[in-house]
Amino acid sequence: MSDRKIKICFLHPWIKDIDDALKLLCIRDMPIAELFELDDTFPDYVIATDYVISSPKYVNKFRQLVWHNKHDYDPVRIFWTEECISPDFNIFDYAICWNWKMKYLDRAARIPPHIFIGDNMTEKTNNLTFDEAKKILENDGRGFCSFIYSNPRANSKRDELFYALSGYKHVVSHGKHLNNTGKIINNDNKWCEVNEGLGRGGKVTWQKTSIKLKSLYKFSIAAENAQSDGYTSEKLLTSFIAHTVPIYWGNPYAAEEYNPEAFVNCHDYDTIDGVVKRVQQIDSDDDLWAYMVSQPWQTREQQRASEEEYERYKKFIANIFSQPLDKAARHTEGWFYERVHAKWFFEGKSALYTKKFLTRVVRILLDPKRLWKKLKHIFTP
């Protein structure tokens, strides 16, 4: 590979410098990392996160770089997400996503979850012994179960777990959603009133704080916002690190990647009542609880599989950035893409505010009969 600089624009609010970008890409240990530099004006590669869908600031920046300037230059487009979203390969050349079953030539790869949140894992492996786990129950006086969430619009399974388990014992909700303590953690890692706002404080602060909170309880409801094959976020891992038993819902294949002896897998039960009965069994048996929290988080086979996946990911990255720029493009080209699909993706609702649309509005407003006809249509039951 040549020593040319790799100019990237990483569209994500956490990216303040190149080290932040390398952290989120999980490639700081790769030799190629020394060649990266940030360039938000004329980058060779645009790494577009899910913020290019949800945030006007990043939507507009992505449109400017990739769509409005497309006749001047066409950067390589890489979709990166930590959310449960599948990439659009008509728009993007490559994708770093959560779908571990996705096989699409050289265009998609996945970072193993524990590698992705590696900087926030205060423990890399579980060194807690069975006897040490027993002493936790004897000395710490742990509560029953924690629930730490701010998003009220997640899949309903999460709230169902909260209410079902609360019917057995009190579940403490520390987050803004369903809060029953009157207090939450703010940006300064201090307790404040709920109505002062959640204040996540960024990736590092929030994940490490959630570990501290979870460590006060025997169980933790570790439920994803959404369900998709391979989508396992930090929720299961932070529960492991806190030495609490995760009650997990989300990725149906989580037990293929993480030790099924170490957590309650909701996907093993036909009903939530079955999950509650399993939790009751563990809660009433200190030896069983100690056995589960002292289990390795991954079996040896799972560790090897994760190491192999991470090596595949690094080869995927090396392939993208080592090939000549004019050979790196993979996105769709052609009439339908240019005139329909890409126009819909990049322009979205703004396409409504065209000269043609505004002309129609003016004509309706200036024509009483036409205006009355439109209003009658709108308000007639």
pLDDT of residue 206: 73
Which pLDDT does position 135 carry in this prediction? 94
Which residue from 379, 115, 84 is spatially nearest to 228, judged by alpha carbons?
Answer: 84
Kindly tell me if the per-residue pLDDT of 190 is higher than 60: no
Is 90 exceeded by the pLDDT of residue 286?
yes
Q: At what angle do helices 203-214 and 234-241 cross, to 10 degrees?
A: 50
Find out whether 87 and 104 touch, Cβ atoms under 8 Å.
Answer: no
pLDDT band at 161 (very low <50, low <70, confident <90, very high): very high
Average pLDDT rounded to a whole number, residues 323-346: 81
Give the model's pLDDT for residue 278: 98
217: left (phi over 0), alpha (psi -120 to 50) or beta: beta
Is it the case that residue 163 has pLDDT exceeding 80?
yes
What tokens appear for 267 in the block? 């996907």
pLDDT of 318 above 90: yes
pLDDT attached to residue 354:
44
What is the value of pTM for the model shown? 0.82
Q: pLDDT digit string (tens) for 55-86?
A: 889 988 998 888 776 656 789 999 999 888 88
Per-residue pLDDT for 195 more than 50? no
> Quick one: pLDDT at residue 196?
44
pLDDT, position 219: 98
Least confident range from 81-95, 261-275, 322-336: namely 322-336
User: How high is the pLDDT of residue 360?
Assistant: 58
Query: What is the per-residue pLDDT for 120?
Result: 66
378 has a pLDDT exceeding 70: no
User: Is pLDDT at 370 greater than 60 in this prediction?
Assistant: yes
Greatest mean pLDDT range, 139-143, 194-198, 205-209, 294-298: 294-298
Cβ-defined contacts of 296-303 (< 8 Å, 24+): 296/125, 296/126, 296/259, 296/262, 297/114, 297/125, 297/126, 297/237, 297/240, 297/258, 297/259, 297/262, 298/114, 298/257, 298/258, 298/259, 299/259, 302/256, 302/257, 302/258, 302/259
Listed in sequence order, the residues at least 6 apart from 107 whose beta carbon sits closer than 8 Å to its beta carbon are: 89, 93, 94, 95, 330
Q: What is the pLDDT of residue 351?
A: 38
**281-300 average pLDDT score:** 97
Q: What is the pLDDT of residue 343?
A: 74
* Confidence label for 365 from pLDDT (cuts 50, 70 and 90): low
* pLDDT at residue 200 tops 60: no
pLDDT digits (tens, 9 = 90+) for 103-149: 778 999 999 988 888 776 778 899 999 999 999 998 878 999 999 99
pLDDT band at 364 (very low <50, low <70, confident <90, very high): low
- 12-50: per-residue pLDDT in tens? 998 999 999 999 999 999 999 999 999 998 999 999 998
Q: How confident is the model at residue 313 (pLDDT cuts 50, 70, 90)?
A: very high
DSSP 267-295: GG-SSHHHHHHHHHHHHT-HHHHHHHHTS
Instruction: Look at 36 and 100; give whichever has higher pLDDT.
Output: 36
Return the number of other C-beta atoms located less than 10 Å from residue 127's C-beta: 9
Q: Does 99 have pLDDT greater than 70?
A: yes
Q: What is the percent of the chain where pLDDT is above 70? A: 83
Q: What is the pLDDT of residues 204-233, one digit of tens each?
A: 467 788 898 999 999 999 999 998 888 898
Per-residue pLDDT, 299:
97
Q: For residue 40, which phi and psi values (nearest 5 degrees)?
A: -100, 15
Mean pLDDT for the stretch of residues 295-313: 95
